[in-house]
Amino acid sequence: MAAADLGAGPTRIIFLGPPGAGKGTQAERLAQWMGVPRISTGDMLREHIAQGTPLGRQASPHMDQGGLVPDQLLIEMIRERTSREDCQRGYILDGFPRTVPQAESLASLTPRGAADFTIFDLVVPREELLRRLDGRKRSDDTGTVVQRRLQEYHDRTEPLIQFFERHARFHRVDGFRDMELVQRELRGHVGVTA
């Protein structure tokens, strides 16, 4: 069942969660249900580069060298993407922001700042994350690499979580359950049940 009217103003959602928490899957399902786009920074960067936009031409050298795209470029891409017609009812960000400065810049794009966002932090026990990532059989998801990715995520994201807990509608969601139960809780937090 599709979402009903989600109230006045766009619904802006950010998904947080470590690698293997299922945030991409849950974000995509929630976006389809709500009828809003799921915006992945990786997809957005690839689109700009493929289309040869000015932003894409600026980002391309950073990506080609395996470096991080500067925050200001990412924010400009987010600004451009969220101003499109399909975002007028809202959108879901998956993979952004990753740092407090990015979150502060993102907040500057909306009328009430971070208070305009609903944050879902998917929490899954470390042992389960390791099991899930091992099951993916990706070349970058082996042994110590996985351990390092999870630790880096935790170290980098803890200040971001504290920022959102203070300034946004923050929901810690148990991602170690049946996918349907997780999705039902997410929809409930959005304010409409299926």
Q: What is the mean pLDDT of each run of 10 residues along the chain (194 residues)?
A: 52 94 95 96 90 93 83 93 95 92 95 96 93 71 76 88 96 96 96 52
- Which two structure tokens, joined as six digits, stand for 86? 């399909």
**CA 98 vs CA 61, 149, 153, 159: distances in Å:** 21, 14, 9, 10
The pLDDT of residue 2 is: 42
Structurally, the chain folds into a number of domains equal to 1
Number of neighbours of residue 139 by Cβ within 10 angstroms? 7
Which H or E run contains 161? helix 143-167
Residue 61 within a domain: no
Among 105, 153, 155, 111, which Cα is nearest to 130's? Answer: 153
What CATH number is given to the structural domain containing 157? 3.40.50.300
Per the structure, the complete domain to which residue 124 belongs is given by 11-40+90-190
Query: What's the predicted TM-score (pTM) here?
Result: 0.86
Virtual torsion, Cα 70, 71, 73, 74, nearest 10 deg: 120
Residue 172 within a domain: yes
Backbone φ and ψ for 165, nearest 5 degrees, come out as: -60, -35
Residue 177 within a domain: yes
The pLDDT of residue 136 is: 66
**Tokens 């349907």 identify what position?**
180
Residue 6 within a domain: no
**Local structure of 194: helix, strand or coil:** coil
Residue 85 within a domain: no
The pLDDT of residue 135 is: 72
The pLDDT of residue 6 is: 46
Residue 82 within a domain: no
The pLDDT of residue 150 is: 87
